Amino acid sequence: MSRASTTRPLLLPLVPLYRLALGVHELCRGPVRRLRFPVVSIGNLSAGGAGKTPLTIALAQALTRCGIEVDVLSRGYGRAGRGAACVDSGGTAEEFGDEPLLIAREAQVPVYVAAQRREAGLLAEQEIGVLKGHDFSRAVKELKGGGALAPEGRASRVHLLDDGFQHRRLHRDLDILLLSRRDLEDRLLPAGNLREPLSAIRRAEVIAIPENEAEVEDELKARSWQGAVWRIRRRMEVPAINGPVVAFCGIARPGQFFEGLKAAGMRLAARIAFHDHHRYTARDLNRLQSAAREAGAVALITTEKDLVRLGPLVEGLPPSLPILTARLRIEIANEAAAIEWLLARIGKELL
């Protein structure tokens, strides 16, 4: 049992203060602003580790296959700047954040980052030109003022809002909420990992649950949920390697990663967990190499997000100690039907 799991129950007296802070934040939220094109949010209730980024990638790819133009709006957590920027897939995590950079590389769609995601959306719509044959400077002025635009010139385009369930200052046309059995059994911060109480699920239009956790849907029905339920499959693609490896990561739920590697048949000589969104240094690489030598490991293995954050540091590793990547993929069960339903739901915004 981790130290965090044993000390967190001691923080239960602080949960009412956290709920009070949530209420104050809600009162001070300010006006909800719109973008020109519909916004589909992908989010969750827990602090990290739910699979939001892989689901965002899967949705972007599915919509693109349907002929819908897609871009992704993200906060760009951990990036150095705060202003709006378009992600360069050849850039670094320090410039754009690890998750936006991974999405840009994997989904092959434009990704925009800003501390205020509406600013990212405005930049996206400025770059694509939302109104053909119209005065765009006027359009941007209207958007910044929170006004609505006339329907002329609309195209089939969707903004995907990554990790957007709590970012409520931006209007969204559809909220997709990832939910697992762990969430149903969890507590609010700081005694647990929930950023919001379970009652917040009523804001969603779609709840995406692990395909192997049918009891979650039963619990939702018991809570009078009448919205759509998507079942999703998590699949870890693990490279073949003959020998033990040192597994490391800097994600919210490292245990989930390590157990996934074990389930895939990998021999873990050592496990090293850094804090979430850890920025790697040359010293970290030296530590990993030392651990590999001591354990007799033939390779290092990590997540895609960690590899993005490592950047050019991996070039310093010797050929005798390759760094491998386990790729997490999410598939939507009955994807065609799910995407058809989504497009029908927001179809009036695409006309």
**Given the DSSP bridges, would you call strands 174-178 and 206-210 parallel, antiparallel or unpaired?**
parallel
Domain count, the chain: 2
Amino acid type, 323: I
Hey, is 312 helix, strand or coil? Answer: helix
Judge whether 3 lies within some domain.
no
What pLDDT, in 10s, does the model give residues 140-164?
A: 344 345 444 333 334 478 999 999 9
- Claim to verify: residue 337 and residue 323 sit in the same structural domain: no
Residues 125 and 183 in one domain: yes
For 62-95, the pLDDT digits (tens) are: 999 988 999 999 999 889 887 899 999 999 999 9
152 and 59 in a single domain? The answer is: yes
**Dist CA 44 CA 55 (whole Å):** 11
**Does one domain contain both 214 and 249?**
no
What's 73's DSSP letter?
A: E
Q: In CATH, what number is assigned to the domain containing residue 163?
A: 3.40.50
Asked whether residue 4 is assigned to any structural domain, the reply reads no
- Mark whether 78 and 207 lie in a shared domain: yes
For residue 243, the enclosing domain spans: 236-329
| pLDDT tier, 263 (very low <50, low <70, confident <90, very high otherwise) | very high
Same domain? 165 vs 289: no
Q: Do the beta carbons of residue 107 and residue 57 sit within 8 Å?
A: yes
- Asked whether residue 163 is assigned to any structural domain, the reply reads yes
Q: Between 165 and 132, whose confidence is greater?
A: 165
Are 161 and 61 part of one and the same domain?
Answer: yes
Residue found under tokens 């090293």 = 272
In terms of domains, do 142 and 264 share one? no
What pLDDT sits at residue 107?
97
Residues 315, 337, single domain; the answer is no
212 exposure class (CB count in 10 Å sphere: 0-12, 13-18, 19+): exposed
Residue 213 and residue 299 in one domain: no
Contact 71, 124 (CB under 8 A): yes
Same domain, 172 and 264: no
For residue 2, what are the CA distances in angstroms to 6, 176, 253, 257? 7, 31, 12, 16
- Is the residue at 98 inside a domain? yes
Q: What pTM does this model have?
A: 0.86
Same domain, 189 and 249: no
- Is there a domain that residue 2 lies in? no
Q: What is the mean pLDDT of residues 346-350?
A: 64
For residue 185, what are the contacts with CB-CB under 8 A and spacing of at least 6? none
Looking up residue 304, the CATH number of its domain turns out to be: 3.40.50.2300
